[in-house]
Amino acid sequence: MTARPRWSSDELEQVRGLAATYFTKEVLPNVPKHVAQGHPDKALYRRAGELGLLCMSIPEAYGGGGGTFAHEAVLTEEQVRAGDPTMGFAVHCSIVAHYVLAYASEAQKQKWLPKLASGEWVGAIAMTEPGAGSDLQAISTRAVRDGDFYRVSGSKTFISNGRVCDFLILAVRTSDVKGHAGISLVCAEVSDTTPGFERGRILEKLGGHGQDTTELFFDDLHVPAVNLLGGEEGKGFAQLMSQLPQERLSTAILAQASIDRAVDLTVEYTKQRQVFGKPLFALQNTRFELAECATLRRVGRAFLDECIERHLAGELDVASAAMAKYWLTDQACIVADRCLQLFGGYGYMKEYPIAHLFADTRVMRIFAGANEVMKELVARSL
C-alpha cells in the first residue's frame, strides 16, 4: 500500500501491524501444510481470536472487538499483502458473523457470536448449489418443518470454510412457493459426527490453494426451528440481498489489495532483474506497463476508499457495491496478467508469488455474484 487510506486511523494502523505480524510469522510458515491438506489449521483461527483479530466489527457485548467494517478491511488487506491464500477470515468475520448480528435473537447472539469471535468456531455460509449459483432463487435444498425442528435435505457446493466449519448458515427452501418468496436462512451447529450432515470432497481449484472449498450434503439434518434467522419463513432472500453489498465490498477490497501486491512485486523485480546489460525497469515498455498498472491502482484505491467511507456511514447502495466488485476484480485480473508478463518465464513458475496471485485473482470475478450479474444490478439503477 502506497499511502494510508483516508478512512484509517492510528488505532487501525496498529491493528494493521498486528495483523501483518500474525500473517507473516504464524500463518505463512504453515501455508505449505495448508496447501497439502487442502485446508488451514483451525488452531490458527483460535490464535487469531486470542489476538483480537476475529469479528473486530462485532460489539464487545458479544465478544467482538467493538470496531467497524474498517477493521475487517485492514485484516483483509494485510492477508493479501502477506501472500496468504488460506485463511477464510472474510467469510467468517465480514459475512457469517454479521448475519447473526443482524437477524439472530438476543439469546442466539450471546451464544454464537463469542464462539466465532474467539475462534472456537469457524463459520461458513452455504448458498451455492450444483444447479444454483448467482441465481439464488433457483436453490432446491429443502427445510421441512417437523415440530420443533427443520429437517434439511439437499446439497451445496463451492462452500468456503466448508471443511473446517462448526457453524453454518444455510439458504434453504421452506415452502413450495416459487422464486425468492420460499427462501429462508437457518443456522446449524455442525461437526464431523452430526447426523444428516456430511462434508464432501475438498474441491481442487485453479487458485486459492489451501483455503478449503467444499461440497456439503444434507440428508434429514435436524436443525432446531428456533434457528430460523429472523423468526419468520420466507425472509431469507431479502436478508441475503441486504447483506450482499458488504460481501461485495469485501471482495473489492481483496481485489484492490491484489492490485497493490502485484504492482509492488513487479516494481521490485524489474528493478533487480538485468536484461541487455541494464535493469528490466529501464526498458520503456516495462516503465509504460507499470505506469498504467500504477494508474489503475490509484484510481481503484480512490473509488474503493469512497465506497468504504460510504459503507461506514451506512450509505453504500447496492449499485455502487456492485460497481466496486465487478470493476476492481476485472482490474485485478488485468493487472496480474500484465505484471506476470514482465516476470517472463519466471512469472509462470509456482515458486514466484506473482504466479499464485495470477491464479488467485481469477475467481474474484465469479464469487459474491458473477460480474455479469453485477453489471445487471448497475443497469437496473440507471
Give the residue numbers annotated as catalytic, written as ranges: 247
- Give the phi and the psi of residue 69 in degrees, each rounded to 5: -60, -25
Q: Distance between CA atoms of 190 and 180, rounded to whole angstroms?
A: 26
CA atoms within 13 A on the CB side of 95: 28
Any idea how long the chain is?
Answer: 382
At 333, list the grid cell. Answer: 485480473
Integer CA distances (angstroms), 320 to 9, 310, 325, 372, in order: 24, 10, 9, 15
Residue 6 in grid coordinates: 483516508
Question: Which residue has cell 456492485?
Answer: 322
Residue 121 cell numbers, joined: 468456531
Contact (CB, 8 A) for 45 and 54: yes
Distance CA 316, CA 204 (A): 35
Asked if 158 and 129 touch (Cβ cutoff 8 Å), the reply is no
Q: Which three cell numbers stand for residue 198?
A: 456430511
d(CA 297, CA 295): 5
